């Protein structure tokens, strides 16, 4: 089959593309390299560097490729920062998806796998179950909610198969270490390697369930199969055992054998304190299994991160700098004035 993977230079996109190729698929990948890296794209994948916010260019590539299956992973997935860069988040999530989906349907796509997020559950009581209503609490979650609903509506009208997966807190090799706005495991590792303190929002008792990429990848690949039992299904994919951010921090620090300074910052606006999901459906439908688990996953990622070495932080301005943003996301000028200015190193 010919599979189009968007976000192919990202953390998960690169792994998914590699898995699909190993399964014998022909893979074409789209990415604008805004958040991903060319080195994440496995050899043999036909990479097209393109910004999916450009409707015309995207349409031309998708129509030319006429994929059988679309795996859509491209995103600005910074949930916490989405309140401070809403335009970028809407462009790289909802708008980019519509630009890919329309020509894919027109070209006769058989199946769409949409990578959504547990952000669609908002601040309902954890564990989040697939039957709960969508009730997003942030701009990123609103985008993923709209993307899910558009998929359901268009699949009904235009008749293609789809599976929506809601990954949560996946980590591992190839994850960006340099994005100061997201990927807590990678941020902790990079800060330790750079000799910087570790910042924790609030008391650190937030609960999340982390999943090593080696554990979640088989489920992602199964989701791309054209099996009727997967059609029109929504499945959470992520870790089974919730841990607190404080516990995670201790595990990462121990792996690096480092004495770390921990600095607690105020809560991030609209951060959901307990966010983890049920996993029975992922086991039953997608065969999710924790062969590695959290500790072994951290060990493997740390080995990769050490080989890569400390990375410079990405320098990026927020669209809406505000005193409500964590001060480490603001430039000195923004901290003082709450207006524009260049972002300094966190």
Tell me whether strands 243-244 and 207-208 are parallel, antiparallel or unpaired: antiparallel
Q: Is the peptide bond before 156 cis (omega within 30 degrees of 0)?
A: no
Q: Are 45 and 67 in contact (CB under 8 A)?
A: no
Nearer to ligand NAD, 45 or 331 (CB): 45
Contact with ligand NAD (CB under 6 A): which of 20, 45, 70, 73? 73
* Spatial separation of the C-alpha atoms in residues 313 and 329, rounded to whole Å: 11
Residues from 264 through 303 that contact ligand NAD (CB under 6 A)? none
Among 26, 46, 51, 59, binds ligand NAD (CB under 6 A): 51
Question: Tokens 């902790």 correspond to what residue?
Answer: 188
Q: Is 238 helix (H, G, I), strand (E, B) or coil?
A: strand
User: How many Å separate Cα 49 from the centre of its chain?
Assistant: 19
**Choices 51-59, 239-247, 258-266, 301-309; region in contact with ligand NAD by CB under 6 A:** 51-59
Report the residue from 10, 80, 239, 321 that binds ligand NAD according to the rule CB under 6 A. 10
- 47, 71, 74, 90: which one contacts ligand NAD (CB under 6 A)? 74
Angle (CA) 172 2 117, round 5°: 40
Q: Cβ closer to ligand NAD: 11 or 199?
A: 11
Q: Is 236 in the site for ligand NAD (CB under 6 A)?
A: no
Q: Which is nearer to ligand NAD, 212 or 331 (CB)?
A: 212
Kindly tell me which of 42 and 334 has the beta carbon lying closer to ligand NAD: 42
Q: Pick from 19, 29, 36, 122: which binds ligand NAD (CB under 6 A)? A: 36
Q: Any idea what the Cα angle at residue 126 is, between residues 138 and 10, rounded to 5°?
A: 55
Closest CB to ligand NAD among 115 and 128?
A: 115
Nearer to ligand NAD, 12 or 334 (CB): 12
Distance CA 116, CA 94 (A): 11
Q: CB neighbours (10 Å) of residue 50?
A: 18
Binders of ligand NAD in range 115-174 (CB under 6 A): 115, 117, 167-170
For residue 5, report the phi and psi dihedrals to the nearest 5 degrees.
-115, 115
Q: Calculate the dihedral angle through the C-alpha atoms of 12, 70, 97, 105, rounding to the nearest 10 degrees.
A: 180
When asked if residue 208 is in the footprint of ligand NAD (CB under 6 A), the reply is no
Cβ count within 10 A of residue 320? 12
Residue in 5, 70, 71, 96 binding ligand NAD, rule: CB under 6 A? 96
Residue 122 beta carbon to ligand NAD: minimum distance, rounded to whole angstroms: 14
Given the rule CB under 6 A, which residues bind ligand NAD? 7, 9-13, 30-36, 51-53, 73-77, 92, 96, 115, 117, 167-170, 176
């Amino acid at each position: 089959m010919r599979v189009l993977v968007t976000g192919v230079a990202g953390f998960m996109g690169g792994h998914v593309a590699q898995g699909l190729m190993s399964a014998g698929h022909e893979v074409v990948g789209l990415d604008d390299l805004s958040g991903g890296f060319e080195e994440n794209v496995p050899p043999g994948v036909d990479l097209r560097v393109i910004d999916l916010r450009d409707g015309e260019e995207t349409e031309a590539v998708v129509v030319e490729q006429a994929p059988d299956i679309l795996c859509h992973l491209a995103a600005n997935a910074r949930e916490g920062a989405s309140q401070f860069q809403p335009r970028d988040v809407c462009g790289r999530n909802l708008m980019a998806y519509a630009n890919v989906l329309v020509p894919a349907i027109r070209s006769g796509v058989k199946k769409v796998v949409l990578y959504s997020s547990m952000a669609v559950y908002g601040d309902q009581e954890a564990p989040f179950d697939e039957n709960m209503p969508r009730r997003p609490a942030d701009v990123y979650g609103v985008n993923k909610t709209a993307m899910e609903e558009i998929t359901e509506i268009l699949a009904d009208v235009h008749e293609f198969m789809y599976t929506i997966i809601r990954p949560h807190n996946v980590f591992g090799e190839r994850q960006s270490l340099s994005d100061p706005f997201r990927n807590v495991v990678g941020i902790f590792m990079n800060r330790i390697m750079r000799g910087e303190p570790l910042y924790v929002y609030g008391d650190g008792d937030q609960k999340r369930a982390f999943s090593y990429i080696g554990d979640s990848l088989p489920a992602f690949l199964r989701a791309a199969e054209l099996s009727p039992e997967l059609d029109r299904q929504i499945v959470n994919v992520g870790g089974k055992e919730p841990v607190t951010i404080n516990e995670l921090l201790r595990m990462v620090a121990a792996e690096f054998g480092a004495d770390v300074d921990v600095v607690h910052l105020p809560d991030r606006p609209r951060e959901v304190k307990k966010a983890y999901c049920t996993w029975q459906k992922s086991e039953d439908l997608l065969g999710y299994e924790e062969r590695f688990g959290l500790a072994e996953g951290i060990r493997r990622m740390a080995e990769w991160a050490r080989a890569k070495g400390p990375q410079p932080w990405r320098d990026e301005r927020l669209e809406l700098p505000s005193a409500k943003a964590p001060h480490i996301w603001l430039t000195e000028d923004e901290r003082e004035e709450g207006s524009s200015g260049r972002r300094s190193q966190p």
